[in-house]
């Protein structure tokens, strides 16, 4: 299952400059997702992190991974933000950064369901660039109804 940016925007409430997923290339409902983020020098955070040696902040790499977890969660339970639901990032464990993510990189985002129970999901996540591990983490998301 492939998702372009228009479909991704249906499954994520995020918008510029915080939408960090450009395309989904693989998705198996209830199991796994593979997506990517094209990292451009035009990203607003590069002005300050760091001007002479631009690096994507690690917290935004984790956020990008959490966003693909949200897409997988929404697809799995067949709900949308338009239905009044949101996936919150509620935890991360065993986060490790292995290489910097820089302008021009294509960040490949992968998440696999570890478990889901009563709206709480745990995912095993990896972010890679050119097959090289940039970040790995276990991410916990909670599905919530919003008013």
The kind and range of the H/E element at 23 are strand 23-28
pLDDT score for 1: 73
Tens of pLDDT, residues 58-110: 999 999 999 999 999 999 999 999 999 999 999 999 999 999 999 999 999 99
Residue range 29-66, pLDDT digits in tens: 999 999 999 999 999 999 999 989 999 999 999 999 99
Question: For residue 19, is pLDDT > 80?
Answer: yes
Whether residue 62 contacts residue 107, with contact meaning beta carbons closer than 8 Å, is answered with no
Q: Are strands 85-97 and 132-145 parallel, antiparallel or unpaired?
A: antiparallel
* Residues annotated as catalytic (active site), given as ranges: 49
Q: Which pLDDT score, from 0 to 100, does residue 51 have?
A: 87
Residue 47 DSSP one-character state: G
**Separation of alpha carbons 23 and 8, rounded Å:** 7
Q: Would you state the pLDDT for residue 49?
A: 94
């Amino acid at each position: 299952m492939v998702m372009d940016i228009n479909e991704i925007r249906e499954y994520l409430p995020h918008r510029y400059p915080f939408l960090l997923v450009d395309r989904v290339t693989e998705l198996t409902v209830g199991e796994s997702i593979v997506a990517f983020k094209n990292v451009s020098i035009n990203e607003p955070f590069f002005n300050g992190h760091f001007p002479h040696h631009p690096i994507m902040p690690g917290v935004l790499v984790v956020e990008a991974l959490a966003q693909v977890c949200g897409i997988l969660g929404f697809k799995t339970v067949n709900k949308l933000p338009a239905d009044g639901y949101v996936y919150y990032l509620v935890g991360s464990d065993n986060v490790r950064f292995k290489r910097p993510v820089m302008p021009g990189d294509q960040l490949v985002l992968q998440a696999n369901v570890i478990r889901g129970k009563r709206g709480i999901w745990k995912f095993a996540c990896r972010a890679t660039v050119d097959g090289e591990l940039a970040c790995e983490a276990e991410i916990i998301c909670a599905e919530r109804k919003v008013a």
